Amino acid sequence: MAPNNDPLNKLSELLSLLPGVGDRTAQRLSYHIGRMPTRDAVALAEAIKAVTENVRQCSVCCLLSQSDPCHICVSPNRDRSRICVVEDSRDAHAIETSGSYKGLYHVLGGRLAPLDGVEPEHLSVEQLLMRIRKGDVEEVILATNPDMEGDTTASMIKDALEGVGDMKITRLARGIPSGSHLEYANAAIVSEALKGRREG
């Protein structure tokens, strides 16, 4: 058994803090990193350091970005009359990859999950309402994931938007299988879901 100050143990502990990485996976990854050429391991460490030092949340849309405001919020080529509301920056990335959306985004930073302690106040809903009150938003696209928590989150946002502005509220079409996540959908499916979006 390795001592507590063993670097592999320390790396395993830190890796196990990542979502979806259990103790055994963390241990396997740490041993894999231990066998990597020094050059590759150092490059990995430097990439992690660069992310922590240079990536931040956009103060407008909450997207993870190297700049604040992010490149999407400042782009003159984006349709400012549409805001696509997503749970996570990864979902916005999936939509961007599809190439079928040219509006703005708003990242909630999660979804309602009361059993996990995630309540409406933990999401960036107030920031979304402030943006809508300021601008000429014609459509809010609710692009939460098609599962129970995503649907509950979308309903909560729709209720919060009542009376805030005179805009259309739409949802992605159900081309994305129920229970799946946007970040895993291919570009064609995301594109079709955007094109087929419906009111409410």
Q: What are the tens digits of pLDDT across the range 95-118?
A: 998 888 999 999 999 988 877 787
**Alpha helix positions (H), the chain:** 7-15, 23-35, 38-54, 71-74, 89-98, 125-134, 148-161, 187-195
DSSP SS3 for 5: coil
Q: Which residue carries 């809508």 as its tokens? A: 132
**Cα maximum dimension of the chain:** 64
Taking alpha carbons only, the member of 181, 127, 198, 185 closest to residue 157 is 127
**For residue 38, pLDDT beyond 60:** yes
**For residue 184, pLDDT beyond 60:** no
**For residue 187, pLDDT beyond 80:** no
pLDDT score recorded for residue 186: 56
Least confident of 13-22, 122-131, 185-194: 185-194
| Sign of the dihedral through C-alpha 8, 11, 13, 15 | negative
**For residue 191, pLDDT beyond 90:** no
Structural domains present in the chain: 7-54 (1.10.8.420), 73-199 (3.40.1360.10)
Q: Which residue carries 């979806």 as its tokens? A: 20
pLDDT score recorded for residue 181: 60
Instruction: Give backbone dihedrals phi and psi of 166, rounded to 5 degrees, phi first.
Output: -100, 75
Mean pLDDT of the chain: 86
The pair of three-digit structure tokens given for residue 186, joined into one six-digit string: 């291919």
**Per-residue pLDDT reduced to its tens digit, 134-181:** 878 999 999 998 888 888 999 999 999 988 878 899 988 765 555 456
In which order are the strands placed within the sheet that holds 103-107?
A: 103-107, 79-86, 139-142, 168-171, 198-199
5-11 long-range Cβ contacts below 8 angstroms, 24+ apart: 7/34, 8/34
pTM higher than 0.95, yes or no?
no
Position with higher pLDDT, 195 vs 97: 97
Q: What does the alpha-carbon distance between residue 155 and residue 134 come to, in Å, rounded to a whole number?
A: 22
Q: What does the alpha-carbon distance between residue 80 and residue 131 come to, in Å, rounded to a whole number?
A: 11
pLDDT score recorded for residue 15: 94
DSSP SS3 for 19: coil
pLDDT score recorded for residue 148: 87
**For residue 1, pLDDT beyond 50:** no
